[in-house]
Structure 1
Amino acid sequence: MYAEKITKKMASIHPAAYLCYGLIAWFVVTFLIYPNLNIYYEIFVKDGRFSFEAAEKLLSSERAMRSLYNSFILAVSLVFTVNLVGVTLVLISEYFDIKGARVLRLGYFTTLIYSGVVLVSGYKFVYGESGFMTKLLVHLFPSFHTTWFHGYWAVLFVMTFACTSNHVLFLSNAIRKIDFQTVEAARNMGASTFYILRRVVLPVLKPTMFALTILTFLTGLAATSAPLILGGAEFQTITPMILTFSNSASSRDLAALLALILGLATLVLLTVMIRFEQKGSFMSVSKVKSELVKQKINNKLGNLAAHVVAYFLFLLYIIPVVLIVLFSFTDAHSISTATLNLSSFSLNNYMHVFSNMTAFKPYLVSMGYAAAASAAVVALALAASRILHKYKNGWTAALEYALLIPWMLPSTLIAIGLIVTFNTPRLLIGNSILVGSVWMLLLGYVIVHLPFTLRMVKASFFSLDSNLEDAAKNLGAKSLYTFMKVLLPIILPSTLAVLALNFNGILADYDLTVFLYHPLYQPLGIVIKNSTDAQALADTKALTLVYSVILMIMSAVTLYFVYGRKGRSS
């Protein structure tokens, strides 16, 4: 009887569905499970025997151990500096009554439209040896050292401002949900502004602050662009060292072991975060919440200090963006000498990028990868979400956990896993070699962006009214027809928003790209990083500034359509 029921159920499934299930299962096993298990084999098995040779080599390598130490020092430092600056930004823009807060917020939000290698290259362009601000400082103080902006402090400075984007997004949202009645009650009892902030406001933000602290620590631990561009020989961290080791076959096991250490640290910290969140109990004591009203700082000296800090931070955020935009319209001589002259302004750089195929190629390559990877990952997430929505059993639970594997691993470990696994023929991919092919980077992008896409698309599926599918089924519609004509149109807006965010994130990616890209097809992230080298030509830097401006415009437009329009409608 049970066998008959199973047979009938299987017969009702469309053959295309079987193909879809098979492809998803193959993808999960081949690219999510196998490479991450194989990396252990590559590290600990030599000539068919278990060996600690890689660990011994790592312990005896002074450079490798120093990079580990530097990474943890950077991560711990960022926890303090990013939280200090991030909380200050949110209080200035959302909690205190600061004049010009709307304008200030625009400056603080600039890290949302340019980040990663674009942001780091921008800061080096402004504060580097031949940068505009460095030239200005030398003019004011003739004995000022032009090589000041490198090493640990430069990396810490740049990453502190780069990593506050999560604070302005998530902490701002959390502070808006604070119950004003609680704040007003404390004020009526005679509490001062800063006492209320310390004892009433900040404790309510603890869950968000804790999550942001863990994310900041992980970001510092896996930092790539800033240490690589600004760290110099004296401050090398884990990821740049992994990149160095992965370029040589003899030291690839060291790269894999370092990546594994990074992955284990990530898993431990995520586990700790989940445990603390489960134990924590944070809630508002008021049953009827009222909207938070911005608080005035009554102390004149305190109010003046808050405004000075607010506008000083605004300048730090906005200066790199303004100078990148201005210099993108100047000639090579102005860029190399960091001088602004009205006669040097023109549209020549932009015309060159869009009229010269050699100059436009990196942009074209990045757009091609971003479009292909975004479409592929959304298609995969749609198919998987459909399965998770339609069937609820042990297999679908296992599928969901498997698809979320990349969320628990740093992109460095994923890249090294792909390299050490697919640098030889594998039966799972038809005895092909993927390392050195254009497909390698595409796979990396799909894998890294899969968890976020799945969670967003799955949420859209589970918000659907189940009666819609039942009604279509009762009218005789097939499952595929129901999905294409009834369900997909409803979830399409949110799916397109996720696709746009993925496309935006892939365009200027460097951290994953640098491990997997094809030398003949260099994406924008690689070209922008190369332009920061001392030997880079001024013409190359000019093109890079144009790339950066275009990327910022695209990011701003994407964020507006994904978030801005929602804000208006609500």
Structure 2
Amino acid sequence: MKKRINIPLLLIVLGLSWFCLGFLIFPNINTVIQTFFHEGSFSLEPVAKLLKSQRAMDSLKNSFILAVTLTVSVNLIGVFLVLIMEYFEIKGAKFLKLGYYTTLIYSGVVLVSGYKFIYDKNGFVTKLIQSIVPSYTASWFHGFLAVAFVMTFACTSNHVLFLSNAIKKLDFSTIEAAKTMGASKLRILFQIVFPTLKPTLFALTILTFLTGLAATSAPMILGGREFETITPMILTFSRSHSSRNLATILALILGIATIILLSFMMKSERKGNFMSISKVKVDFQKQKIDHPIVNIFVHVFAYAIFILYAVPVILIILFSFTDAASISSGTLALDRMTIKNYALAFSSLKALQPYLVSLVYGLVASFLVVALCLLCSRLIHRYPNSKLIVFLEYILMIPWLLPTTLIAIGLSISFNQPTPFTFNSILTGTVWLLLLGYIIIKIPFTLRMTKSVFFNINTEITEAAQNLGANSFYTFRRVILPIVLPATAGVFALNFIAILQDYDLTVFLYHPLYEPLGVMIRNATANQTVADTKALSLVYSVIIMVMSTIIMYLVYSDSSFVKKLFRTWRDRKNELSNDL
């Protein structure tokens, strides 16, 4: 009997193939062709031109210097924070977490702008220092040290999330066994705890290095001409037709470095095995610091770092309620507190426009990427042995291997003329290109999260639905979707917040008439910006932080609505499993 062709499945696979070929493969290949085969023949002239550009070579050197610096500084601060929160007994540890977790509610250009606002020559902290030391230089917060300082504290969010979870999973019985054998707490920390955490630390080191290599906001806002890095230089070169090839070459170098480092990370992770050897796992208990002097030092340092994290957030909130004169002079006074800035932010459509633009982009892009990845995850889960589906999955992970700048340049170059993939339409210079860019960069994370949820579904449930005569679409809509919905909602929320304050991709692709929040906040950091614009940027920053806090609570808090909803659907799933 001739096998019946599944027309819907065929159309879905063809649609995914068109998307992968047109928007994940073609732009990157076309970027290489346009760079090295610009006039029909192969030429290394762009490379030679890059090598002759002292400014470009300095930006490459600075990026690698920053990346190496951050791998040391971020790991030191990040590991210390996690030890304070999860490993040692510290007075007020729960209170300290409030400061250490601030990088989870604001990041990127919002965070860097906040640091610049308080540490700049007219900033509150600088004014405070000068009141104590009148001879102190006002314009001290710029260049390499300022960039490294801000990024060191900004990039510990991965340690707070992932290394904290790794420490919570430590086997306490191994530590107890070492104690009974006379090992000191310092020796246990370095010979038992850190080796167990080695895979996580290694992954975080690679990610930190890549973050420093592709840094955009901090070098652009704080580095200035004295410390330019690759990504700001790419943006500068891409704005001129004569130097666009230099921007592409720099982006390709960044892409090659990213691919090499991520490949090395995955290869090392496959070889590594650092699991606990204990057969009976015992929950971890926090360790006391017995030495009184060390204990005092650790507490003092922990609270000092807390102040560094908390002060920018507190001052951004306070200054968002002050008048324009206070914002310009960096002074706080109770008699100048006002809600006029918030009234101004919501007084007209023009004032609301950056927020509304980012809001629409965030909602639409997050919905579309989640819908796409749910569909792909369903195919991967249902056809795990299909070579075509496996190949499509690998293609969908391409954005994970490439820096945002290379993706942005590829989209700009490839779709500035009609192509079959865009049905002979031009996307460059339209509002659609940025939406497409957001979807592309969020695919790897969303796919990995949704796919893991699908593979936790009991297959007996779907088989039972099919045996009762339900078709694939009905099974997905009424059985599978309710189970994966809570986790999917969390992924949607995280994508939305990331897009809302994105700058790295946005600055390359946004439409000039529809300025998103990230670009608006970046422009507000310029010295020539009027005070009202700075006030609006502070208001927008506070709104972003409030929204991020609510969403992080919904996603990560055990008492949140999302977790309760998840438990409800999990109970429903268990009831269905028991009935079967």
Structure 2 residue 193 is matched with structure 1 residue 178: no
Report the more deviating stretch, 24-33 or 423-432. 423-432
Instruction: Report what 1:414 is aligned to.
Output: 407
Instruction: Report what 2:378 is aligned to.
Output: 386
1:473 to 462, 466, 477: 466
Q: Report SS of the residue matched to 1:233.
A: helix
Instruction: Report what 1:100 is aligned to.
Output: 92
**Alignment partners' CA distance in 2, 1:272 and 1:243:** 28
**Alignment partners' CA distance in 2, 1:46 and 1:348:** 54
Q: Report SS of the residue matched to 2:430.
A: coil
Superimposed CA distance per residue, residues 336-390 of structure 1 (whole angstroms, 9 cap, x where no aligned partner): 1111111111211112212221111100000000011011111111221222222
| Structure 2 unmatched runs, 5+ | 568-580
What's the offset of the Cα at 1:471?
A: 2.4
| Structure 1 unmatched runs, 5+ | none
Q: What pairs with 1:192-231 in structure 2 (closer than 5 Å)?
A: 192-231=184-223
Q: What pairs with 1:488-507 in structure 2 (closer than 5 Å)?
A: 488-507=481-500
Instruction: Report what 1:62 is aligned to.
Output: 54
**Alignment partners' CA distance in 1, 2:270 and 2:228:** 36
Instruction: Report what 1:398 is aligned to.
Output: 391
Structure 2 residue 510 is matched with structure 1 residue 517: yes
Q: CA RMSD in A?
A: 1.4
Q: What pairs with 1:310-321 in structure 2 (closer than 5 Å)?
A: 310-321=302-313
Write the letter of the residue equivalent to 1:472.
A
What's the offset of the Cα at 1:251?
A: 1.6
**Alignment partners' CA distance in 1, 2:465 and 2:203:** 43
**Alignment partners' CA distance in 1, 2:559 and 2:404:** 31
Superimposed CA distance per residue, residues 52-103 of structure 1 (whole angstroms, 9 cap, x where no aligned partner): 0110111011011000000000000000000000011111111111111110
Instruction: Report what 2:132 is aligned to.
Output: 140
Write the letter of the residue equivalent to 1:167.
H
Q: Report SS of the residue matched to 2:270.
A: helix
What's the offset of the Cα at 1:285?
A: 2.3
What's the offset of the Cα at 1:524?
A: 0.2
Instruction: Report what 2:570 is aligned to.
Output: none
1:263 to 255, 275, 285: 255
**Alignment partners' CA distance in 2, 1:188 and 1:540:** 63
**Alignment partners' CA distance in 2, 1:348 and 1:19:** 54
2:63 to 52, 66, 71: 71
Superimposed CA distance per residue, residues 320-343 of structure 1 (whole angstroms, 9 cap, x where no aligned partner): 000001111111111111111111
**Alignment partners' CA distance in 2, 1:389 and 1:305:** 52
Instruction: Report what 1:301 is aligned to.
Output: 293
Write the letter of the residue equivalent to 2:139.
T
Instruction: Report what 1:444 is aligned to.
Output: 437
Instruction: Report what 1:536 is aligned to.
Output: 529
1:40 to 32, 38, 54: 32
What's the offset of the Cα at 1:400?
A: 0.4
Q: Report SS of the residue matched to 1:49.
A: coil
Write the letter of the residue equivalent to 1:60.
K
Instruction: Report what 1:190 is aligned to.
Output: 182
1:277 to 269, 275, 295: 269
Structure 2 residue 152 is matched with structure 1 residue 160: yes
2:326 to 325, 334, 346: 334
**Alignment partners' CA distance in 2, 1:78 and 1:108:** 18
**Alignment partners' CA distance in 1, 2:482 and 2:100:** 36
Q: Report SS of the residue matched to 2:557.
A: helix
Write the letter of the residue equivalent to 1:134.
T
**Alignment partners' CA distance in 2, 1:524 and 1:413:** 22
Superimposed CA distance per residue, residues 476-526 of structure 1 (whole angstroms, 9 cap, x where no aligned partner): 222222222222122111111111111111001000000000000000000
**Alignment partners' CA distance in 1, 2:103 and 2:375:** 33
**Alignment partners' CA distance in 1, 2:121 and 2:540:** 22
Report the more deviating stretch, 21-30 or 358-367. 21-30
Report the more deviating stretch, 443-452 or 342-351. 342-351
Distance 1:472 1:185, change over 3 A: closer
Structure 2 residue 45 is matched with structure 1 residue 53: yes
Instruction: Report what 1:457 is aligned to.
Output: 450
Percent identity, please: 60
Report the more deviating stretch, 480-489 or 441-450. 480-489
Q: Report SS of the residue matched to 1:97.
A: coil
Structure 2 residue 249 is matched with structure 1 residue 249: no
Q: Report SS of the residue matched to 2:429.
A: coil
**Alignment partners' CA distance in 2, 1:122 and 1:55:** 38
1:359 to 351, 359, 365: 351
Write the letter of the residue equivalent to 1:530.
N
2:119 to 120, 123, 127: 127
**Alignment partners' CA distance in 2, 1:72 and 1:25:** 37
Report the more deviating stretch, 421-430 or 98-107. 421-430
**Alignment partners' CA distance in 2, 1:486 and 1:94:** 39
What's the offset of the Cα at 1:428?
A: 2.1
**Alignment partners' CA distance in 2, 1:281 and 1:387:** 31
Instruction: Report what 2:501 is aligned to.
Output: 508
Write the letter of the residue equivalent to 1:526.
V
Write the letter of the residue equivalent to 1:453.
T
Instruction: Report what 2:75 is aligned to.
Output: 83
What's the offset of the Cα at 1:160?
A: 0.1
Report the more deviating stretch, 41-50 or 215-224. 41-50
**Alignment partners' CA distance in 2, 1:227 and 1:146:** 19
1:562 to 555, 559, 562: 555
Write the letter of the residue equivalent to 1:344.
R
Q: How does the TM-score come out when normalised to structure 2?
A: 0.95
Write the letter of the residue equivalent to 1:40.
V
**Alignment partners' CA distance in 2, 1:197 and 1:428:** 55
**Alignment partners' CA distance in 2, 1:566 and 1:55:** 56
**Alignment partners' CA distance in 2, 1:566 and 1:26:** 42
**Alignment partners' CA distance in 2, 1:421 and 1:48:** 16
Structure 2 residue 321 is matched with structure 1 residue 324: no
**Alignment partners' CA distance in 2, 1:187 and 1:105:** 28
Q: Report SS of the residue matched to 2:502.
A: coil
Report the more deviating stretch, 179-188 or 103-112. 179-188
Write the letter of the residue equivalent to 1:365.
V
Superimposed CA distance per residue, residues 131-170 of structure 1 (whole angstroms, 9 cap, x where no aligned partner): 0000111111111111100000000000000000001111
Distance 1:30 1:566, change over 3 A: farther
What's the offset of the Cα at 1:566?
A: 6.6
**Alignment partners' CA distance in 1, 2:168 and 2:418:** 54
What's the offset of the Cα at 1:180?
A: 1.7
Q: Report SS of the residue matched to 1:182.
A: helix
What's the offset of the Cα at 1:467?
A: 2.5
Superimposed CA distance per residue, residues 214-269 of structure 1 (whole angstroms, 9 cap, x where no aligned partner): 00000000000000000011100000000011111222111111111001000110
What's the offset of the Cα at 1:296?
A: 1.2
